[in-house]
Amino acid sequence: MNILHIRLLNQQLVSSRFTDVHDLVAWMGMVQAQEYKMMRWAVGMRLREPSMSAFREAYDAGRIVRTHLFRCTWQLVAAEDLGWMLPLCAERNKVSIRGYLAYHGRRIEEREYERANRLICDALSGEKSVRKEILLARLAECGLEDDAHTMSIYLRRAEADGIICSGELDSRQNTYALVEERIPRLRELRRDEAIAELARRYFRSHSPATLEDFVWWSNLGVGECRAAIESICSELISESYAGETYFIHRDCRVRGYRRQTILLPSYDEYLIGYKSRHHAFEEEFRHRIHNRNGLFYPVILDDGQVVGNWHPGKDAAFFEEAIQPDLTDAFRRYRQFWNSDR
């Protein structure tokens, strides 16, 4: 079993099956989206033909949305999936928010969140999309004003409460809209059904992966994750490798891999989507891939292995002189993606 080759196929990084942005994001379950610009390439490079204009169209139409979900980090999801995904992670996100505030010697009472939510609703009501700076200015006019970190907490809590999500795509900063106005039909599921569906999405798009990988990705309890895997066991094939049990979904591809050099954005699912990401790089280069604070850098993949770093407009920096693949086609695809929006 070649773990990296199969992951590349099912993450749609090689020989993608998808031409539609919404369908790709729905297949992935969620796509990590910490960096507002690089999230576009994270989706675009997984399409059969990279297209920034296609990404913008899906984002502006509200077919995909960006919000804080699992692990209380930014993710892109298919709009209709927000209704069943948010209840899975909302309470854990609220705990994370309280912990962040406590670490900085702050506390926000529930009545303050309730007031903030009302003001946020008033500021966004009837608006298709509002840039963050304008939203914060409107809130300040209503008496809700604090330091930048605390205001971001109010917005993150409103996301956890299912009140706001992303609006239209802006070139520079986050935008916000009311969920009830942005997404007219949210799909709802019972919790056990939702976790089973989440497991299905994960193992379809991330196989081969372990129970521990799914726990990391979802930030749900081990017991719930194990139960979810058991509930879809008829859809999974288990294989032992180096003392670990890996699951492969029946809808996954295990053949059709072709070698390709890929410019991977920071925080990409190919690395951050697993606890077992050690398959993709040598330990001595870990500091070139992510730091101890969880900051992931843009990296170069060659045959599934991380071999260097890259930055738009700058030269690549390879880890070893002996492994320096030709990046001509990789940068061509990257430029083609951005040029499609002009």
- pTM summary value: 0.94
Cβ–Cβ < 8 Å for 206, 31:
no
**What's 61's DSSP letter?**
T
Q: pLDDT tens digits for 308-340?
A: 999 987 789 999 988 999 999 999 999 999 998
Tell me, what's the pLDDT at 294? Answer: 80
The DSSP code sequence of 280-293 is: GS-GGGHHHHB-TT
Alpha helices (runs of H) in 166-318, residue ranges in sequence order: 179-182, 191-206, 211-218, 222-231, 269-272, 286-289
Residue 342's pLDDT is: 65
Give me 122's structure tokens: 């008033």
- What pLDDT is stored for residue 172 in this prediction? 86
Cα–Cα nearest to 199, from 186, 219, 216, 214? 214
The CATH-assigned architecture of domain 15-182 is Orthogonal Bundle (1.10)
Distance CA 127, CA 180 (A): 12
Domain ranges of the chain: 15-182, 261-339
Q: What residues of the chain score a pLDDT lower than 70?
A: 342
Using a 10 angstrom Cβ sphere, with 0-12 exposed, 13-18 middle and 19 or more buried, the burial of residue 106 is middle
